[in-house]
Structure 1
Amino acid sequence: MSAVADKSVDRISRRQIDKFTERRDQLAEAALHTLSELGYARTSLREIAQNSEFSHGVLHYYFRDKVDLITHCVKFYKARCVTRYDDVVATAQTPEELEAGFGAAMTATLREEGTMHRLWYDLRVQSMFEESFRADVAEIDKSLENMIWRIVTRYAELQGSEPTVSSSVMYALFDGLFQQSLLAYLSGDEDAANTLALKVKTVLLRVIPA
């Protein structure tokens, strides 16, 4: 086979892979609502098919099983979610702007996408029992830790200071705050989102002093 033919086959192969990945993303987006409402334990591929425009057979073609679908859904959502916070890092020019932007992003995420994050916490708990989830959960966790660290290091830069705790500790702090606020919000606490924004500012000021 000639070099030109090799390149042509390679382009076709890449195009097929891209189309397959794009289709998986479309299916994941369609499945997210059902998954976030019902959670891991109460959701099956058949249940998802019944609540979407896609057949059970189509879902089985693109995903090996429920584990494959759920992990792809959460990865897809979290990758999209991260961009909201990266925009805060890119646009903030003062510590006050970053405090406000980070707090607003956390508040908006809680109010608008709380059920999606509930699915993430469900998946993370399930990984303690099901080994098949662990590698993907660890990968997602690391991407979220890196996202938080980008915010924190930018804030420290704007403050002319240095963080007083490590990346993993910082992530644990903000993740814990968000999970606590999410539970309160889903339980009917209307002040949970505003309280979260205040707590975000408090933590930033404590761990990155001016």
Structure 2
Amino acid sequence: MQTNRGVRQPPADKFHARRAELAEAALETLGELGYARTSLREIAQKSEFTHGVLHYYFTDKLDLITCSIRHYKAKCVTRYDAVIASAQTREELQEGFIDRLSETIREEPRMHCLWYDLRSQALFEDGFRGDVAEIDHKLEDMVWRIMSRYAELGGRELMISSSALYALFDGLFQQYLLRHVSNDPDAVPELLQEVRRLMPMVG
């Protein structure tokens, strides 16, 4: 398999593993700059990688950003699985979910901002839409798993569709994320309070 310049690429598994490694390493810079201000050259200047290396593994910034956010969100969608599996009561599941939610918004706000930036860009960039739709679907499934188990532990059934349920939690998270990155000290506590109120209402 040859590149456009006639340079032999590594085997496919090593090539994709290296892409994933570079994408993860670039996440911090991507989160800092956002979509509009990001280029492969800018990422190279703020990281240990040369522009040539990034350009070898990624065709353009769209390719790199998509790979990076897919890599990050692949971990996000399993963040709550241990809580779902271990919780024996609704209270345990609710508190475990809230603890993880608090942790991710406090520790990884830039990554979440990058995701919302990318999702907004999908309204204008055809190249993002397939990946954004796939990630959104996995996040929707994640929320459904959490709330289905929460309802089950209370002997109840969810009376809301999966897409509406996701929209509720995602909308809350995005609203309070904006407040959090705007240095509002009440943003995270109020988000957690809203989630505590919402969960019994829908499940």
Provide the rounded CA distance (Å) in 2 between the counterparts of 1:197 and 1:18.
41
1:17 shift after superposition: 2.4
Match of 2:61 among 43, 66, 87: 66
- Give the secondary structure class of the aligned counterpart of 1:58: helix
Deviations 1:11-57, CA, capped at 9 Å, x for gaps = xxxx9322222111110111101110010000100000111111111
Residue identity matched to 2:89: T
- Where structure 2 has 5 or more consecutive residues not aligned to the other structure, the ranges are 1-9
Provide the rounded CA distance (Å) in 2 between the counterparts of 1:187 and 1:151.
29
Provide the rounded CA distance (Å) in 2 between the counterparts of 1:80 and 1:23.
18
Q: CA RMSD in A?
A: 1.1
Match of 2:14 among 16, 19, 22: 19
Provide the rounded CA distance (Å) in 1 between the counterparts of 2:91 and 2:37.
43
Moved over 4 A (4+): none
The answer to whether the aligner puts 1:39 opposite 2:55 as a matched pair is no
State the partner residue of 1:77: 72
Match of 2:181 among 177, 186, 191: 186
Q: Give the paired residue count.
A: 194
The 5 Å alignment of 1:151-190 reads 151-190=146-185
Q: Is the 8 A contact 1:89 1:154 kept in 2?
A: yes
The answer to whether the aligner puts 1:145 opposite 2:135 as a matched pair is no
State the partner residue of 2:6: none
Match of 1:107 among 102, 108, 128: 102
- Where structure 1 has 5 or more consecutive residues not aligned to the other structure, the ranges are 1-14
- Give the secondary structure class of the aligned counterpart of 1:99: helix
TM-score (norm. length: structure 2): 0.93
State the partner residue of 1:195: 190
Provide the rounded CA distance (Å) in 2 between the counterparts of 1:96 and 1:25.
37
Residue identity matched to 2:25: A
Deviations 1:137-187, CA, capped at 9 Å, x for gaps = 000100100010010111111111011101000000000010011011011
TM-score (norm. length: structure 1): 0.90
Identity level (%): 62
Q: Which has the higher helix share?
A: 1
1:90 shift after superposition: 1.5
Q: Is the 8 A contact 1:103 1:198 kept in 2?
A: no
Residue identity matched to 1:26: E
Deviations 1:116-149, CA, capped at 9 Å, x for gaps = 0000000000000111110010001001000100
Provide the rounded CA distance (Å) in 1 between the counterparts of 2:138 and 2:12.
24
Residue identity matched to 1:84: R
State the partner residue of 2:5: none
State the partner residue of 2:83: 88
Provide the rounded CA distance (Å) in 2 between the counterparts of 1:162 and 1:184.
33
Q: Is the 8 A contact 2:78 2:142 kept in 1?
A: no
Provide the rounded CA distance (Å) in 2 between the counterparts of 1:111 and 1:18.
34
